[in-house]
Structure 1
Amino acid sequence: SEALKGGTLLVMPTALGKTFVAALVAAHLLATSPKKILFLTPTKPLAMQQAKRMRELLVVPQESVLVVTGEISPAKRAAQYASARIVCGTPQSVENDVLTRRLSLSEFSLIIFDEAHRAVGSYSYSFLGRQARESGALVLALTASPSSKPEKIREICGNLGIERIEIKTESDEDVRGYAQKIRLDWEFVELPPELLGLRDILREQLSECLQSLKKDGYLESADLRRINKRILLSLRPLLAKDIPKSYGSLSTLAKAMNFMHAIDLLESQGIAALYEFLTGLKQREEKTKAVLAILADHRYAKLVARTQTLKEGGFEHPKMRRMREIVGSAVHAGKSVIVFAHFRDSVSEIERQLNAEGLRVAQLVGRSGDGGMSQKEQHALLEKFRAKGFDVLVATSVAEEGLDIPSVDLVVFYEPVPSEIRLIQRRGRTGRAHAGSVIILVTKGTKDEAFLWISRAREKKMRETLQGLRGELSRKKQKGLEEFS
């Protein structure tokens, strides 16, 4: 009922019924208005999923719910708009049709923005939100995780014309009976001496780079504990302005970035990932001055030799061993599992290791780069997973949103993520039809540990920020009513 009163942002965990709420609002407007419903989703798979849900939830002719994407010709899209009662589409296609006047948003009584946290910057949701306000259509924006930053939530609300924020959690009385319990655990592992020795060499080289940048006046501190990737990236534009004086420092910065990445791989991913990165430097066809300097250092050969010896000896990161135990135990208990990993190389290594254990495993990766999957291949893989064609899906961030991923019993994070949005999205892959579990693997005393606490703190801050902005919007509306009266 609140969503019928004006533009509404509904913040609700995955599987608690955001689509059901959207269907209720749509049903009311279909019954009271001759206008159509527009349901926007970021990707074609989600558009198809929501169209299927609308056909299931609403008493409308099946053929009146149509999917509109960029794969359909403009002429055919125009014909679909004319015959549909409910249009489920991708925002880029709809934006193009509005700009070319094949479509007017005044034809719609309700516009639903799924994954509404995307309504920032130049993304098509921002344009369509402004057009929706001008057309007079009611806006319903859905998300499980808008942001922990007040300015970003304000931008989303401004772009979509949001007048009220509705927040639902698993503990709310009107939701509690429908929410499935999700158990969240994190398991800590320690770096063994073999990896600590390799890390010492990499840290020594990184420290030398930082000392050089500090000496040249580009860093205030060379303390490894105080320097992160974001700080180093922020130096690039500063150094670019200082050319030619900064040529040497630019190369030093590039070396530092490589060493920092190598340390991240060693701490969070393991020997195989580090070995691939180190040998990949030598295999590059075009080598920068920074890469040539790394290769010329006697410590590079030492690192490669020690890493290769460990790899060939079957040495592995303790996370890999624990991951195999967790996943193997779950599968033998008849459970379905998704394992999330940040790097594609890690996804491939995890798939290889689990296959070696006799498990039925497949990997899901994005469309870009070598070894990428087309949308058609992704869809076929997910349908096979849904049909129990295999037990474990190992995925990169592509499985966080934008795809119709079947619910699973267990989600494993091979490493923590620093984003509250990604934490919530990954967690939402379990606990839909029944209770689920999430296990996050964390390497003690590394960036893993920092990322774990950052994401949890940001999720807490997001809820506090939403409550504050909810009150702010309510006060603004009340003030407007008082001035009008």
Structure 2
Amino acid sequence: MNAPKQTTLFTSWGPRENHGTHECDVEFEDDDIDDEELFAAAMALDNNQFDEGTRLTTLDPNLLTPSRKGNDVHDEILPGFDISAGNLWIYPTNYPVRDYQFNIVQQSLFKNTMVTLPTGLGKTFIAAVVMYNFYRWYPQGKIAFMAPTKPLVAQQIEACYNIMGIPREHTAEMTGSMVPSERLKAWKNKRVFFLTPQVLMNDLNRGAAVADQLKCLVIDEAHKALGNHAYCQVVRELSKYTRQFRILALSATPGCDIKGVQQVLNTLLISHVEIRTEDSIDIQPYVHQRKVDKIVVKLDDTMMCIKSQYLEIIAVYVNRLTKNHVLYNRSITSHSKFMILKAREEFRCNPPPNIKSKIQQGSIEGDFAMCISLYHGYDLLLQHGMKSLYSFLQSLIDGSKGTSRARSELGRNQNFNSLLESLHEQCGSTELNQCVISHPKMKKLQDIVVEHFNQFEQDKHTHGSGTRIMIFSQYRDSVQDITSMLDKHKPMVRVMSFIGQASAGKSTKGFTQKEQLRVVKAFREGGYNTLVSTCVGEEGLDIGDVDLIICYDAHKSPIRLVQRMGRTGRKRQGRIVMLVTEGKEESIYNQSQYNRKSIHRLMNGTKSLQLYSQNARMVPRGIHPVVHKMHITVDKWQPKTLSKRKQSSTRNTANITSFLSKGKTKIKDRWALTDQELEYWTTHYKCSSQVPHIPTGGRFMSLSQKSEPLVSK
């Protein structure tokens, strides 16, 4: 009695029926051929003799061989595409298989795709799988992963390696700190690049990077591709020489409004959009509940007094502009920095007929500049408190910010001098931690943090050994104040600040890339349990599991809000607290929430979006790749700090493994192959340092999961 047939790792080639020219169309046929004949044919065939029309169908249980059809001719030949590798695309099972990730990868291989996923749901995983398949399909091609910051570049190269294990000797990390001559050498000898867009643009301009060699371009934080951003420059530069490259754009949210989203899609030549929100059905099993609490804080009497004094100063300059008919007549509090900027632009384009002399125009320009600066200070007061306002006004007086005209005018203003004196009494002392509670939100934040840690200690047996909090604030002054305030609650609260690389004057020196990575690592491993961060902690960086997110300020951009919220609820239930001041800041938060939901609603419909219609084919017509799901074993990641001798002894190459049809073997080197089979494997299919291949014949490997055809939708 014959045993039931088992589907093996790779299947034989058979006749193809014409189902159009879609590269994802495929059909299976069952060939009932004698086992011995199949195996003999497999051993006799030379890999170079495979016909371009070969394609995968089902196989005999133990024996694999390609069958040929002489009249099956491809409609096109794409330079650099490996016909033998192109019959398969690989999907890893060393990570849990999620349907939404599989479906997105399937689309991204064949279309320029914008992937919008909430933070923590595997955008990097999708990128790694797509990159690996192009690495196989184009053995001489280059693949680039662009990230906007150096720490993100360093993080993504390790993350992608741990997923798919592209050999380290084929991979390069390139930032501006790497000298051009070394980058030129890397472009010649490496195939997969993790780099900032500025570096890629510079290397394209100087000819170090050859445009038509790039076959796959991954763009992280793709919502930044606006205006003349380096992302936009790279795509425009590549498009001058070739359209034969695939783009995969990744972002937690694609833009601030639908107009911005459309601009990103146009710039990045996007022909397909994959968007998921927390409410999407297919990601529900992987999203933990996130409770969002909006806490509205009222200004205290001291703050109200400071606010009234400050508005009197602003009124002087707003009234001047109103009298000159260059600004709408409305209440002082209803104006904003953005509205002043728009009014100034309109004035420059169409000055009123009564403003003729250059002296008058110069005076009005000065009033506009003063209003813009003062309204910035007003936002600081409402959102961050008296100390932030005091630091800003001091910078106007000492000349580090603002103009000489602003210094002289404000110095003559009695109300301004009186206000500055009041702020100095409240916040000007140089004693350590004297003025930490400069806004009612700070006291509320302190109570929330202390309450969280106390509650965790009571429920420690339920939640585990540790909990972490992340606090976001837009301005460094507030970050420093919050850190100083929480530092008083040691050892329960172990707090650390986290800021960007740029230095702002002598008092606030930025963190270097090494310092940033060191802080993130310490926070992830439990050295700190509270991280107070500016926007540098919002995007991309793997901060780890966070149970509580506190947003100290609100921002109009839904991008910032989504990035912050995505830091919690990854492995267990999380909580997000939005601290907003009553009035203007509360309105900003409400508008941001509305914008976020409307963007997702419009993108899900896609009828309001125009997609790129000239999508480049990266798989020749006549080739129909079939998915093969397989376990990929990856060697442990070794950091760059290892010595060359140690790196060579622990060379990181991916070992792609499958299960034997008749059980596992303990003979590691030979994999239970005969001499003839081992020689054939080594000659044709072994992953070498030159051209990695996936085996396509022989009886020595079998599927743990059935290969699946790509079905066009």
Report the TM-score, using the length of structure 1 for normalisation.
0.90
Work out whether 1:248 is the aligned partner of 2:248.
no
Q: 1:28 aligns with which of 130, 133, 136?
A: 133
Q: How does 1:270-285 map to 2 (within 5 A)?
A: 270-284=385-399
Q: 1:328 aligns with which of 446, 450, 454?
A: 450
CA gap of 1:471–1:212, structure 2 versus 1, over 3 A, is: closer
In the other structure, the counterpart of 1:347 is: 479
Name the stretch that deviates more: 57-66 or 127-136: 127-136
Paired residue type of 2:499: V
CA gap of 1:178–1:234, structure 2 versus 1, over 3 A, is: same
Shift of 1:372: 1.9
Aligned residue pairs: how many?
A: 477
The structure with more radius of gyration: 2
Give me the whole-angstrom Cα distance separating, in 1, the residues matched to 2:403 and 2:119: 45
Shift of 1:151: 3.1
Give me the whole-angstrom Cα distance separating, in 2, the residues matched to 1:236 and 1:472: 32
CA contact (8 A) 1:415 1:442 kept: yes
Give me the whole-angstrom Cα distance separating, in 2, the residues matched to 1:62 and 1:337: 35
Question: What stretches of structure 2 of length at least 5 have no aligned partner?
Answer: 1-105, 457-465, 616-713
- Residue 184 of structure 1: SS of its match in structure 2? strand
Give me the whole-angstrom Cα distance separating, in 2, the residues matched to 1:268 and 1:84: 49
Work out whether 1:12 is the aligned partner of 2:117.
yes
- Residue 606 of structure 2: SS of its match in structure 1? helix
Shift of 1:48: 1.8
Shift of 1:374: 2.1
Q: How does 1:387-402 map to 2 (within 5 A)?
A: 387-401=525-539
Shift of 1:104: 2.0
- Residue 274 of structure 2: SS of its match in structure 1? strand
CA contact (8 A) 2:113 2:270 kept: yes
CA contact (8 A) 1:164 1:473 kept: no
Work out whether 1:257 is the aligned partner of 2:372.
yes
Give me the whole-angstrom Cα distance separating, in 2, the residues matched to 1:350 and 1:318: 12
Work out whether 1:199 is the aligned partner of 2:307.
yes
Work out whether 1:422 is the aligned partner of 2:555.
no
Give me the whole-angstrom Cα distance separating, in 2, the residues matched to 1:117 and 1:168: 15
CA gap of 1:212–1:176, structure 2 versus 1, over 3 A, is: same
CA contact (8 A) 1:40 1:91 kept: yes
In the other structure, the counterpart of 1:288 is: 404
Shift of 1:434: 3.0
Give me the whole-angstrom Cα distance separating, in 2, the residues matched to 1:36 and 1:257: 47
Q: How does 1:10-409 map to 2 (within 5 A)?
A: 10-34=115-139, 35-132=141-238, 134-237=242-345, 243-284=358-399, 288-311=404-427, 316-332=438-454, 333=456, 334-358=466-490, 359-368=493-502, 369-370=504-505, 371-401=509-539, 403-409=541-547
CA gap of 1:212–1:22, structure 2 versus 1, over 3 A, is: same
Shift of 1:58: 0.7
- Residue 37 of structure 1: SS of its match in structure 2? strand
In the other structure, the counterpart of 1:482 is: none
CA gap of 1:208–1:155, structure 2 versus 1, over 3 A, is: same
Give me the whole-angstrom Cα distance separating, in 1, the residues matched to 2:198 and 2:373: 36
CA gap of 1:262–1:33, structure 2 versus 1, over 3 A, is: closer
Higher relative contact order by CA 8 Å / sep ≥ 6: 1 or 2?
A: 2
Give me the whole-angstrom Cα distance separating, in 2, the residues matched to 1:75 and 1:259: 48
- Residue 205 of structure 1: SS of its match in structure 2? helix
Cα deviation digits, residues 28-76 of structure 1 (max 9, x gap): 3334332343212112221221111121111432333321222222232
Shift of 1:468: 4.2
Paired residue type of 2:512: S
Give me the whole-angstrom Cα distance separating, in 2, the residues matched to 1:30 and 1:236: 52
Q: How does 1:441-456 map to 2 (within 5 A)?
A: 441-445=579-583, 447-456=584-593
Name the stretch that deviates more: 393-402 or 408-417: 393-402
Q: How does 1:425-440 map to 2 (within 5 A)?
A: 425-440=563-578
Give me the whole-angstrom Cα distance separating, in 1, the residues matched to 2:373 and 2:138: 59
Give me the whole-angstrom Cα distance separating, in 2, the residues matched to 1:273 and 1:474: 44
Give me the whole-angstrom Cα distance separating, in 1, the residues matched to 2:378 and 2:254: 31
Shift of 1:187: 0.6
Give me the whole-angstrom Cα distance separating, in 1, the residues matched to 2:188 and 2:399: 54
In the other structure, the counterpart of 1:464 is: 601
Cα deviation digits, residues 164-210 of structure 1 (max 9, x gap): 11111222232211223322211111111221122122222322322
CA contact (8 A) 1:331 1:337 kept: no
CA gap of 1:274–1:119, structure 2 versus 1, over 3 A, is: closer
CA gap of 1:356–1:138, structure 2 versus 1, over 3 A, is: same
Give me the whole-angstrom Cα distance separating, in 2, the residues matched to 1:343 and 1:119: 24
Shift of 1:297: 2.7
Give me the whole-angstrom Cα distance separating, in 2, the residues matched to 1:294 and 1:44: 41
CA contact (8 A) 2:313 2:416 kept: no
Cα deviation digits, residues 128-156 of structure 1 (max 9, x gap): 32455524112111111111433322222
In the other structure, the counterpart of 2:675 is: none
- Residue 412 of structure 1: SS of its match in structure 2? strand
CA gap of 1:130–1:270, structure 2 versus 1, over 3 A, is: closer
CA gap of 1:262–1:107, structure 2 versus 1, over 3 A, is: closer
Give me the whole-angstrom Cα distance separating, in 1, the residues matched to 2:406 and 2:344: 14
Work out whether 1:410 is the aligned partner of 2:516.
no
Task: State percent identity of aligned pairs.
Answer: 29
Shift of 1:393: 1.5
Cα deviation digits, residues 317-363 of structure 1 (max 9, x gap): 21010111112233443421221112211111111111123232221
Shift of 1:280: 4.2
Cα deviation digits, residues 213-232 of structure 1 (max 9, x gap): 11122112142243211122
In the other structure, the counterpart of 1:481 is: none
More helix by share: 1
Cα deviation digits, residues 401-445 of structure 1 (max 9, x gap): 264434422221111111111111111222233332211101112
Paired residue type of 2:132: A
CA gap of 1:39–1:283, structure 2 versus 1, over 3 A, is: closer
Report the TM-score, using the length of structure 2 for normalisation.
0.62
Give me the whole-angstrom Cα distance separating, in 2, the residues matched to 1:263 and 1:60: 52
CA contact (8 A) 1:255 1:291 kept: no
Paired residue type of 1:10: V
Give me the whole-angstrom Cα distance separating, in 2, the residues matched to 1:437 and 1:344: 24
In the other structure, the counterpart of 2:691 is: none
Shift of 1:399: 1.9
- Residue 177 of structure 1: SS of its match in structure 2? helix
Give me the whole-angstrom Cα distance separating, in 2, the residues matched to 1:340 and 1:152: 25
CA gap of 1:168–1:289, structure 2 versus 1, over 3 A, is: same
CA gap of 1:82–1:354, structure 2 versus 1, over 3 A, is: same
Question: What stretches of structure 1 of length at least 5 have no aligned partner?
Answer: 479-485
- Residue 310 of structure 2: SS of its match in structure 1? helix
Paired residue type of 1:252: D
- Residue 418 of structure 1: SS of its match in structure 2? coil
Give me the whole-angstrom Cα distance separating, in 2, the residues matched to 1:227 and 1:245: 23
Shift of 1:282: 4.0
Give me the whole-angstrom Cα distance separating, in 2, the residues matched to 1:249 and 1:364: 40
